[in-house]
Structure 1
Amino acid sequence: MTLHRAPKSLLAGSVLLLGCLIPATIVWIWHGGHAPFIDIPNRYAPPSLTHPLGTDPFGRDLASYVLTGAFNTTAIAVLSVALATVIGTILGLVGANGGKRGWAVMSAADLGLAFPPILIAAMLVTAQGASATGEILAIALFGIPAQIRITKQAAQSILVLDYISAARMAGFGSVAVTIRHVLPNIAPILIVHASTSLALAILSEAGLSYLGLGAPPPQPDLGRALASYQIHIFDHPFLVAAPGVTVMVLVLGFNLLGDGLRDLLERPFARNEESLS
């Protein structure tokens, strides 16, 4: 596939994400994942060549703080979605095969959808305290029930095809059929869902941190930055705009990336499905 034939949404999402995450990674490595140095005499400095976005109430370079927070927020979102995808896919495949185990899995997924996400996060934080690990587990628990349902529906559309029956008649068990035939054919759907789930995970991470349920200070975080700087929305609006716009760029980038991947993968997947049927 040539670059000019790629979906425009895929290109736009890639540009937004790379434009944000490449400098974020560089700044994160430069500062070792920590917040910039405190410089009280230089606080509330206006934008300049030394401080492109100015400084915050502690005299820290705002651009460095926000970019480091963007890296941390994205890392937590990626780990959460990866965990939800792996666990949800496995359980969804079990649910697609039916039986008592399948019924138990789908019942648990329905129960998970009934609980408000913020309640799960609050329970985890109460149990082990505010931490990045608790935040990852909470966001992953948000996504597992939906991942189970999507995987089950996609797998069942493959399991009813004739070549699956032929594979079973040839002596292949459920695990072999799932690994060799089902999983490769539903992979495009899982990839698209994971990419769009990252946008929701970014919002969830920012929201949990804003409420004080995320990783504690001094680790930079976009949600906590918004919560800390919101009192300056009228006297120093740039303090609120910088992390807010960064969250918006990340969410928009992952949404566009997911839309582009869907457009890119749905046609080959549809052709493959027609040939199999």
Structure 2
Amino acid sequence: MFFKNKLRILKNPYIISALIILLIMLFLAIFAPFLTEYNPVSTDARNRLQPPSSEHFLGTDEFGRDVFTRMLYGIRASLQVGFSVVILTLLFGVFIGVLAGFYPKFDRIIMRVLDGMMAFPGIIIAISLAAIWGGGKLNIILALSFAYFPKMARIVRGSVFSIKDLEYVESARAVGAGDFYIIVKYILRNTSSPILVQATFNFALAILDEAALSFLGVGIMPPTPSLGGMINDARSFMTVAPWLMIFPGMMIVFSVLAFNLLGDGLRDFLDPHLRGNINN
């Protein structure tokens, strides 16, 4: 059964396409120091705004910095932010969602607070917190995590509601199983599918919003390379050096596309109703 499921998931075109893109990105991020001989923050005024060439694969920016090198380290920063945001969102969202869904006395209080938070777009919350706390990778991670976890909590809460009164949960409770055992053994195991799918979408959203915050000047602070910051710096040189904006922009598009494809593929694979429709 394990190998049958493994083969089925590898036949999903969304998942395959996403994995190819993500593996390439991961390779570029991990081996960035070995793929380029340039320093991402070192300037060279003599070679400023050079077009793509054999010496500078993707050209240079207004300070003579190698665009390919800065893009490699920008990918690394985006993946670090995305991974950290997903972990924090899972920790807080799952904990609060299970608490609200399993214990009705906490549900009214918790969900009213989360409803108030979800009344504002996540990017607005992130921008506000980043402006208050200041830029930097850690502050961006905290701001985006705070903006995203209410939706994760609501998804987990809805899944817990649909599971906690099922017969096998009632049977476990009847034989004396405690709440912690029921939550770990039955609730979390059966809510893992929507949690996993939402986590992939949060990863894509974190990459996109980190780029947006850096573009607005409240994200990762220069000269540390970030994809959004590179696009922001390139605005004044769009006509004379379009490569400064094109290549980082393409990388953001491919990154977000990969995680969205992965989320769609996992949703199709893990949802038995959708899987049945696909097989038919």
TM-score by length of 1: 0.90
Tell whether 2:223 aligns with 1:199.
no
Of residues 238-247 and 35-44 in structure 1, the stretch that sits farther from structure 2 once superposed is 35-44
Q: Are the aligned partners of 1:28 and 1:71 in contact in 2 as well (CA < 8 Å)?
A: no
Q: Does 1:90 align with 2:91?
A: no
Partner of 1:105: 110
Q: Give the deviation of 1:28 after TM superposition.
A: 5.1
Q: Which moved more, 1:210-219 or 1:248-257?
A: 210-219
Alignment of 1:66-145 (within 5 A): 66-145=71-150
1:274 matched to which residue of 2? none
CA contact 1:6–1:264 (8 Å) conserved in 2: no
Q: Give the corresponding residue for 2:181.
A: 176
Alignment: residue pair count? 270
Q: Which moved more, 1:38-47 or 1:247-256?
A: 38-47
Residue 238 (structure 2) aligns with: 233
Letter of the structure 2 residue corresponding to residue 192 of structure 1: V
Contact 2:268 2:275 in 1 (8 A): no
8 Å CA contact 1:68, 1:220 repeated in 2: yes
Q: Which of structure 1's runs of 4+ aligned residues deviate more than 4 A?
A: 28-32, 268-271
Could you list the runs of 5+ residues in structure 1 that have no partner in the other structure?
272-277
Q: Distance in 2 between matches of 1:196 and 1:15?
A: 17
AA matched with 2:87: A
Greater shift, 216-225 or 97-106, is seen at: 97-106
Of 231-240 and 117-126, more deviation after overlay is shown by 117-126
Aligned partner of 2:182: which letter?
A: V
Q: Which amino acid aligns with 2:25?
A: C
Residues 191 and 247 of structure 1, relative CA distance in 2, 3 Å threshold? same
SS of the residue 1:152 aligns to: helix
Q: Which amino acid aligns with 1:185?
A: N
Q: Give the 3 Å change call, closer, same or farther, for CA 5–24 of structure 1 in structure 2.
A: closer
> Which aligned pairs between 1:1-277 and structure 2 lie closer than 5 A?
1-2=6-7, 5-27=10-32, 35-267=40-272
CA distance, structure 2, for counterparts of residue 170 and residue 265 of structure 1: 30
Q: SS at 1:107's partner residue?
A: helix
Give a deviation string over 1:17-37, Cα, whole Å, max 9, x none. 2222311321157789x7242
| 1:141-197 alpha-carbon deviations (Å, 9 max, x no partner) | 111110011001111111121111111111112222111111011112211110121
Q: State the 1:240 CA deviation.
A: 0.6
- Partner of 2:21, secondary structure, is helix
CA distance in 2, matches of 1:4, 1:75: 26
Contact 1:36 1:64 in 2 (8 A): no
After superposition, what is the alpha-carbon deviation per residue over 1:198-248, rounded to whole angstroms, capped at 9, x for unaligned?
111111111111111112112111111111111111111111101100100
Pick closer, same or farther for the CA change 1:237–1:191 going to 2, 3 Å.
Answer: same
Partner of 1:275: none
Aligned with 1:2: secondary structure? Answer: helix
Deviation at 1:102, TM superposition (A): 2.1
- Kindly indicate whether structure 1 or structure 2 has the higher relative contact order, using CA contacts under 8 Å at least 6 residues apart: 1
| Residue segments in structure 2 that go unaligned for 5+ positions in a row | 1-5
Question: Residue 78 of structure 2 contacts residue 226 of structure 2 at CA under 8 Å; is this kept in 1?
Answer: yes
Question: TM-score under structure 2 normalisation?
Answer: 0.89
Q: For residue 270 of structure 1, report the CA deviation from its aligned partner.
A: 8.6
**2:93–2:149 CA contact under 8 A, matched in 1:** yes
